[in-house]
Amino acid sequence: MATEHAHAAAADPLAGVPVLLGNHTDETLTDTLFGHVWRKPGFGWYALFGLALAGFGLFVLAIAVTLYKGIGAWGNNIPVGWAFGIINFVWWIGIGHAGTLISAILLLFQQKWRTSINRFAEAMTIFAVIQALVFPVIHTGRPWYAAYFLFPYPSTNSIWPQFKSPLMWDVFAVSTYFTISLLFWFMGLIPDLASLRDRSKGKLQKIVYGILSLGWRGSGKHWHNWKVAYLIMAGISTPLVLSVHSVVSFDFAVALLPGWHATIFPPYFVAGAVFSGFAMVVTWIVPARRFLGLKDVITMRHLENMNKIILVTGLIVSYGYLMEHFIAWYSGNEYEWSVFVNRATGPYAGVYWLMITCNVVTPNLFWFKKIRTSIPAMWILSILVNIGMWCERFIIIVTSLHRGFVPSTWEMYYPTWVDFTLFAGTIGFFSTLFLLFMRFLPAVATAEVKEARHEMEIGHVHHHPGLMKAGLPEGHAAH
């Protein structure tokens, strides 16, 4: 039997790689996964945090300039009334999709490889949606006059939101997504927060973690109620993966505008969201895995599975591009076809071909196992994917607006320094929140990894009882 395993491992380096490596016990897992919370951060963390804070400073500056001068500080014009604000909104919402898919859908399908990466993805969802929510608010120009009209509150003026407006649909879809994602993330944290409370040495830490753990004592009743609630939340969250970005795509699909008015947008946007979301998870999880000492828990199996999903969703996105162009040509509508010709050959052709390179060519490199399992390659490709997805949103919005039905309405769009600063600032804000998360909370769901370890141990011993008879220790048999 040992010879068979050796031959299998030689044929496929990942054949014997489970979702957990090393001869771990519950105690060693706790020490490994809580280690980065207890130890003082090194110079690298402080350097990255300082850089992220500088980015957050740019965010505050750009918001201040926008509120002081109005939307005129941006490069928006007529006819390009939508530009960086909505481009960045759609991009950030897309990035937030991987968290719900990994947490909810993979949980319902009992995929054990999700346990080591779900908390990264859930945190990323929360922080990405926070960035996205900024843009619809400030895009109104004077939020203190307009933003509250988006909510159906009792008004003495009898002025109610216009529910026929896609902006209203966005408000309800995204706020629901944020609320459910936040609750789901927090619910998964409760057992680990209780462990942090019990192991904390400082009084302030005990108080804070004690309040957040909601009185968790780890009794059988607590675990049962937690499991049931977690599954219910997963069931509620699952439709959001499909609904939220479908609703965001309606911003464009319901408009009678060439390049936007397309029924393919909802599934095409959802696939693009999962595509960019998984790429962002890989971008963050690769360095975190290295510097937080999580290689035993986040194995190559996790990384390869995520790269496979990037490949599949990349192929769906590529198919969406192909169908968009085919339908525009097949329809015989000269205005529709001119939009797609303009994208490939017009003044923004460079952005278009960068999008094609990053979103069509790049993911196909994951057909090769050597690239799927190469840490440097997957990290670089994940960054390229997100660059490509940002370019896609730019192309969809700007190239459909900047040339109208008659040449007298044609106008170029040029972003201003405020546009670039605001975008860079949201990346800084996102990075700041992520670094704080990795500093004060376990980056991996410890309770779920321990449960996976016990299930692996029982299943492995059940299928290979000879391992125990041979006198091998139980922990070794599990791995």
User: Does some domain include residue 108?
Assistant: yes
Distance CA 433, CA 56 (A): 10
Give the model's pLDDT for residue 351: 93
Contacts of 299 (CB under 8 A, 6+ apart): 17, 18, 19, 20, 21, 116
Give the model's pLDDT for residue 417: 93
Distance CA 397, CA 407 (A): 18
Give the model's pLDDT for residue 63: 92
The residue whose two tokens read 């009792």 is 154
User: Does some domain include residue 8?
Assistant: no
Give the pTM: 0.85
User: Does some domain include residue 6?
Assistant: no
Structure token pair of residue 33: 């996964």
Which is more confident, 416 or 162?
416
User: Does some domain include residue 331?
Assistant: yes
Q: What is the pLDDT of residues 255-288, one digit of tens each?
A: 888 888 888 888 888 889 889 989 998 998 888 8
Distance CA 268, CA 266 (A): 5
**Residue 383 burial class via C-beta count within 10 angstroms: exposed 0-12, middle 13-18, buried 19 and up:** middle
Whether pLDDT at 148 is above 80: no
User: Does some domain include residue 7?
Assistant: no
Domain extent for 428: 17-478
Q: Are 66 and 73 in contact (CB under 8 A)?
A: yes
Contacts of 314 (CB under 8 A, 6+ apart): 275, 359, 360, 362, 363, 364, 366, 385
Planar angle of CA 324, 327, 333, nearest 5 degrees:
115
User: Does some domain include residue 3?
Assistant: no
Q: C-alpha distances in angstroms, 382 versus 101, 255, 314?
A: 18, 32, 11
CA-nearest of 350, 410, 409, 360 to 385 is 360
Q: Which helix (H) or strand (E) holds 165?
A: none
Q: Which helix (H) or strand (E) holds 350?
A: helix 349-356
Q: Which helix (H) or strand (E) holds 14?
A: none
Q: Which helix (H) or strand (E) holds 12?
A: none
**61: CATH:** 1.20.1630.10
Structure token pair of residue 115: 């346990």
Provide the CB-side half-sphere exposure for 231 (13 A, CA). 8
Distance CA 102, CA 98 (A): 6
Q: Give the confidence band of 470 by pLDDT, cuts at 50, 70, 90.
A: very low
Whether pLDDT at 466 is above 70: no
Q: C-alpha distances in angstroms, 98 versus 75, 125, 185, 276, 447?
A: 31, 7, 13, 8, 21
Q: Are 35 and 317 in contact (CB under 8 A)?
A: no
The total number of structural domains in the chain stands at 1
Identity at 278, one-letter amino acid code: F
Q: Give the rounded percent of residues in the chain with a pLDDT score beyond 70.
A: 85
Whether pLDDT at 175 is above 90: no
Give the model's pLDDT for residue 382: 93
Q: Are 441 and 38 in contact (CB under 8 A)?
A: no
* Conformational region of residue 259, where left means phi above 0, alpha means psi within -120 to 50, and beta covers everything else: left
CA-nearest of 200, 208, 116 to 443 is 116
The residue whose two tokens read 């500080």 is 73
- The CA dihedral of 382, 387, 393, 399, to the nearest 10 degrees, is -140
User: Does some domain include residue 340?
Assistant: yes
Q: C-alpha distances in angstroms, 286 versus 6, 47, 97, 291, 293?
A: 28, 18, 19, 9, 11
Whether pLDDT at 479 is above 60: no
User: Does some domain include residue 257?
Assistant: yes
Q: Show contacts of 303-309: CB within 8 Å, 24+ apart.
A: 303/372, 303/373, 303/375, 303/378, 304/14, 304/369, 304/372, 304/373, 305/113, 306/117, 306/278, 306/281, 306/282, 307/282, 307/366, 307/372, 307/378, 308/366, 308/372, 309/274, 309/278
Planar angle of CA 43, 47, 49, nearest 5 degrees:
115
Q: What is the pLDDT of residues 221-263, one digit of tens each?
A: 888 888 898 888 888 888 887 888 888 888 888 888 888 888 8
Q: Are 95 and 280 in contact (CB under 8 A)?
A: yes
Whether pLDDT at 46 is above 70: yes
Q: What is the pLDDT of residues 24-39, one digit of tens each?
A: 666 666 666 666 677 7
Q: Are 74 and 66 in contact (CB under 8 A)?
A: yes
